[in-house]
Structure 1
């Protein structure tokens, strides 16, 4: 069973990190390897060929015109990708609220067979945009782009190597949503990701934790945006069975930074002492795990169904060991207070430290926090009341306005 679990995790991580097309090729190559003879060898030079692209400085002099032209370089994605949701949100809002025209370049292998399907998928499952879509595969196609842009934006460490090689622009920026070296153990990929922060791009960061980290450690010139939530979707729904005790646990076993093992151990202890408690587990199908307490395996839930799911819970446990996710605000807007592991990576959004409940990353501390919140209804309601002003004042339009002003300052070199 342990061998099966280990191999399953390896398969999941390969697909997650490399995308469906490239990931399946890697898995196939591993399966076809014999005990003595390797039938298919993995070509490291081919796999990382984008890192060997020749560096090109910006060649275009910015001329203020009717609109700003932006090229976004993004990795492959699947429906439901939170990072891509934010990218397409900003593409959509910059286009809607300002004179900005965008082009989207998918870097490397992709599961989307053509750009028409790609655009239809983005418009249906993310945000509608008038952006143009292109696929850069193989990486050398970066040199064949015959359009010029005011700004080229990298959105992941892999795409930063493409942007470094792209010269048909006035300036280069880096849309950073997390500290990606932390996605890997100390080794090659950690070093590859970290090096991109030394490319002298302007940083557009998700929150002040990343802004300070990149500025202080790598000398990047950064501006940050804060988080908000979709106010048309996330609202408090009617509680159908208020007499039940129910908690939400964001469960993502293949994503190490979400602390699945720690959360599972802590909840096992809590639910053993409080067997009436039901746990709603969402974010991944956890049916292959032994869950020793009463739970609902909700798996990956459609966005439009999340507010009702959140509203049925008394508290949520969200663990994040890199940058804060969007979930806490979405949960609060749905009437569900949030317990989260302490650290500046999570508390940067909460200046007064009264928006979220902070816990040490230990099973005992998590259990103390759960006890404090679940056994005190008045305290739970006070947490929601504390969040109302923040939730009322925040908006994605305000955040995209910050980003737009920073883009203008980059281009005008102010």
Structure 2
């Protein structure tokens, strides 16, 4: 009876949504559903202290096309991190090599469904798709793409092969200091040849583990993200990813609520997840293709683009489309986005709201074109070339090394 009375009181005071949320939270803890937050089953967790993985004893000639495995979680439609990874896959395929995607799915999803998403959202990628649980086999090299996939590569890729690690973010930052943080950090001790995307990741690896990775740079697809002729810019825009701490949606929500009190006439647009219970009016677009997203950016003067680990790709894509991003200022963010057009500010709701308002107040007619011109124009070509070169050097051997060991072969190459 007491519980019913309490439930009625909550429903009257806060509404049915709040009551449902509290009931769900109670069921979550009592049912042990928190175990589903553990990213890996115990069988897939490797340990750097005892890891002994075989490497091939011979190297193929550089004229021999390679088979490269890529170990990854299943891509969601439009996922930014997966888009970056699959750009690298595409580059390796263009270089004449065969690729295989080994998917590691904590929740045992349907492989055919995952493959359909890949074909629909990344049609340029020709790689075959396999289940990593069946073993990571038949490849000259395999590339881990996240800390979870690094554990899976170490535990299931036990044949002789070369192993690499494409690191887009320093993933221990995703978690509180605890067991998962430690498991993520341990992957950088596995001995895989490491490719860091950007100086922020490289600095974190150096500082935390005294590891010196290969480093490549961010890119921006300026063939998609660009100012459109005749675009009328009236609004502000934000990426909605509740529950992903590094994307700072809690800050975005509070900032936009306060911005709405400052500029109630300015339209607010959200894309990504559809969010209920917002304390301000918003046009929610859900998931958008890159072309659709560029069209949305071209209706906006400014955007909210916080990121609390590595810099979000969203910030530079907004700039390329002529939208000024408001970004929380940090040494890590500036390391990979040294751009004078960014509206850098403190990560507080009032600071973000005021930065948005100031951007709208001081926008000049040509601001979109000027912002777009500040963006690097070589797309992802440098990163793609670096990844291809590093993988080939790892498998074939560096040209200088081959020349020292077999001068006749090096000359022919």
Instruction: Give the shorter-chain TM-score range.
Output: 0.7 to 0.9
Q: Given the alignment of the two structures, is residue 330 of structure 1 paired with residue 327 of structure 2, yes or no? A: no
| Corresponding residue number in structure 1 for 2:345 | 359
Superposed displacement of residue 344, structure 1: 2.5
Matching residue of 1:63 = 60
Superposed counterparts of 1:258-337, under 5 Å: 258-286=247-275, 288-292=276-280, 294-337=281-324
State yes or no: 1:164 paired with 2:161: no
> Compared with structure 1, are the counterparts of its residues 399 and 136 closer, same or farther at alpha carbon in structure 2 (3 Å cutoff)?
closer
In structure 1, the residue matched to 2:20 is 4
Q: Deviations over 1:129-180 (max 9, x none)?
A: 332321123xxx43xx55241x221111111112223233442211111122
Following superposition, the deviation at residue 3 of structure 1 comes to 5.2
For 1:264 and 1:146, locate their aligned partners in 2 and report how far apart those are by CA, in whole Å.
Answer: 45
Q: Deviations over 1:18-58 (max 9, x none)?
A: xxxxxxxxx9xx6994xxxx99x989899322115884423
Corresponding residue SS for 1:236:
coil
1:107 aligns with 2:97: no
Distance 1:196 1:46 in 2: 13
Q: 1:31 to 1:45 in 2, by over 3 A?
A: closer
Aligned residue among 343, 366, 370 for 2:356: 370
Q: TM-score, normalised by structure 1?
A: 0.81
Cα 1:359–1:410 shift into 2, 3 Å = same
Whether contact under 8 Å (1:202, 1:221) holds in the other structure is no
Q: Equivalents in 2 of 1:246, 1:42: separation in Å?
A: 39
Deviation at 1:204, TM superposition (A): 1.3
Report if aligned partners of 2:227, 2:369 keep a CA contact under 8 Å in 1. no
1:256 is matched with which residue?
Answer: 245
* TM-score, structure 2 normalization: 0.81
* Counterpart-to-counterpart distance in 1, 2:262 and 2:39: 54
CA distance in 2, matches of 1:331, 1:45: 31
Deviates more, 1:165-174 or 1:395-404: 165-174
Question: What is the SS of the residue equivalent to 1:224?
Answer: strand
Report if the CA contact (8 A) 1:250-1:319 is conserved.
no
1:341 counterpart = 2:328: yes
Counterpart of 2:138 in structure 1 is 147
> Once the two structures are superposed, what CA deviation does each residue of 1:312-348 show, in whole Å capped at 9, x if it has no partner?
0011111111111221222122221111111123212
Separation in 1, partners of 2:331, 2:66: 34
Secondary structure at 1:371 match in 2: helix
Look at both structures and tell me which one has the larger radius of gyration over its CA atoms. Answer: 2
3-state secondary structure, aligned to 2:300: coil
> Equivalent residues in 2 for 1:53-202 (5 A)?
55-61=51-57, 62-65=59-62, 66-96=64-94, 98-109=95-106, 113-114=110-111, 118-137=114-133, 141-142=134-135, 145-149=136-140, 151-165=141-155, 166-202=157-193
Query: What stretches of structure 2 of length at least 5 have no aligned partner?
Result: 1-16, 402-413
**Secondary structure of 2:277's partner?**
coil
Could you tell me how far 1:241 is from its partner in structure 2?
4.6
Partners of 1:44 and 1:375 in 2: how far apart? 46
- Cα distance in 2 for partners of 1:301, 1:42 equals 28
CA contact (8 A) 2:200 2:336 kept: no
1:211 counterpart (202, 205, 212): 202
Between the aligned partners of 1:278 and 1:261, the Cα distance in structure 2 is: 19
Aligned to 1:18: none
Task: State how 1:32-51 maps to structure 2 within 5 Å.
Answer: 33=31, 47-51=41-45
